[in-house]
Amino acid sequence: MKIACLGEVMLELVPTDGNNALLGVAGDTFNTAVYLRRALPAPHLVAYVTALGDDAGSARILTALRGHQLSTDFIEMREGGTPGLYMITTDDAGERSFDYWRSAAAARSLFQEPCTVTPDALNGFDIVLLTGISLAILPQTTRDLLVDWVDRFRAQGGRLAFDSNYRPRLWEDVETAQRETMRLWSRCDIALPSVDDEMLLFGDRDEAAVLARLTATGVVFGALKRGDAGPLALDGSGAVISAPPVSNIVDTTAAGDSFNAGFLSGVAEGMPLADAMDRGHRLAAQVIQHRGAIVDL
């Protein structure tokens, strides 16, 4: 299997004590790519697709990507560009919030001229992962270009994995976010929504309304992430995976990202849907017991 994860990778600040912080590298699709690479044995290939600058921060990110054994052959390098930066704050229950500095990030220029990496460069992959964040950071012209490519990619046998991963501050307005998200739900082969994100974005009154809307859109495979309630199969079976609740929740950063990695690794290895959901759920349960997006397990 060849799997590409597309989006934005940033520098991550995790405050420690006083005025100190740990500096890391993270981002939703990057987090998934890292855990996916760890979960899949060779010769599976996991590549990351983004745009970076030529500054010290971008060099740190490239070093991290290669250190995690991710292919960097599909990264656009922008002269004078810089990466985004964000800081994590967690409350006493481990729930996280973010402050971002990313408006001028090079990733926003992905697939824009002059470029050496185009969507067609991804035609040789089996699965391509996009998220709502991947879409939100791009201008509308690039979103349209990407959607057109998705149609060609799927017609050639490729599979699109999508997670709406809704972040209101990244979008121009909620109507645009709804429209663009629905365009991807109607095209995805592997759906990875979170019930909280879907209810927030679309105003669905409950889980049943989320499921009804996704089904009406044409979603027939994937998993609905529901936190400690366990994922629910999106193949019409209604199967649920449950596990003992995690008592030591430290930081929920990357919970959904790591679930996506575990699930996609199961799909890549031909697991039944329930087993892929179980793998994703168990991986996420480990990640949230540690601080930061990328942790040693």
Establish if 293 belongs to a structural domain. no
CA distances from 2 to 59, 129, 130, 178 (A): 25, 11, 15, 30
pLDDT score for 93: 75
Asked if 99 is an active-site residue, the reply is no
Q: In this prediction, what percent of the chain has a pLDDT beyond 90? A: 80
Q: How confident is the model at residue 294 (pLDDT cuts 50, 70, 90)?
A: confident
Residue with tokens 């052959």: 73
Domain assignment present for residue 180? The answer is yes
Q: Determine which one of 257, 275, 278, 296 is catalytic.
A: 257
Q: Residue 245's pLDDT band (boundaries 50, 70, 90)?
A: confident
Confidence of residue 140 (pLDDT cuts 50, 70, 90): very high
292 within a domain of the structure (yes/no): no
Confidence of residue 295 (pLDDT cuts 50, 70, 90): confident
| 278 vs 273: CA distance, rounded Å | 9
The total number of structural domains that make up the chain: 1
Question: Residue 24 falls within a domain, yes or no?
Answer: yes
Q: What is the DSSP letter of 116?
A: S
List the CATH number of the domain containing 189. 3.40.1190.20
282 belongs to a structural domain: yes
Residues composing the chain:
297
Which residues span the domain enclosing 274? 2-287
**Domain for residue 296, yes or no?**
no
Asked if residue 295 is part of any domain, the answer here is: no
Q: Report angle CA 259, 281, 240 to the nearest 5 degrees.
A: 120
Q: Is the pTM of this model over 0.75?
A: yes
DSSP, residue by residue, 232-246: EESSSS--B---PPP
